Amino acid sequence: MPLYAHRIPLLVTTDVPADTDLADVGRILADAVCTLRCGNLTYPALLQGAAFWLDAPVRGHAPLEELRFTAMLGHLSATAPHESARDVVSDARAAITAAVSAHYGHLGSCPPAVLAVRSDDVAERTPTSAVPVTVTAETPVLVTTLG
């Protein structure tokens, strides 16, 4: 089966409790995609970017258990059995949804949104206050060579 190299600009949004650490959210998202699944096959991927609040919690004005929206903008690199970036994003969505659900339970009314965006959006729309993501899972060698 042929493998295809992908570098996909990505936006991920999800709701989390207001007292959540943004660095933890970013790690959960990035670690979730280190190994993606396509049917019975798995393949390596790497999500690099930064996490930030879309509606930052205001301390003292709302309960900390209230849900708030976070986002991550970055690039997903993958060596995939898919020729289509859309299929890679679909695999990433499934992995991220499972990871967020496993870590936080079923939050809110919707699963995380995982969307391909323009590359310029990553640079233009990532706020300066965003927290860079650090991957804690083992980084696949095939992906790190994609740049």
Higher per-residue pLDDT: 102 or 139: 102
Per the rule left: phi > 0, alpha: psi between -120 and 50, beta: everything else, 105 is: left
Q: Convert the pLDDT of each residue in 42-94 to its tens digit.
A: 999 999 999 999 987 766 555 656 788 899 999 999 999 989 999 999 999 99
Nearest to 13 by CA among 88, 98, 100, 83: 100
- What's the number of domains the chain is made of? 1
pLDDT reported for residue 24 = 94
**What is the C-alpha separation between 136 and 31, in angstroms, rounded?**
6
CATH number, position 129: 3.30.70
Q: How large a percentage of the chain has pLDDT more than 90?
A: 66
Q: Which domain holds residue 30?
A: 4-144
Flag whether pLDDT at 139 surpasses 50. Answer: yes
Using the structure block, give the residue that is written with the tokens 């995939």: 80
Cβ–Cβ under 8 Å, residues 122 and 9:
yes
What's the pTM?
A: 0.87
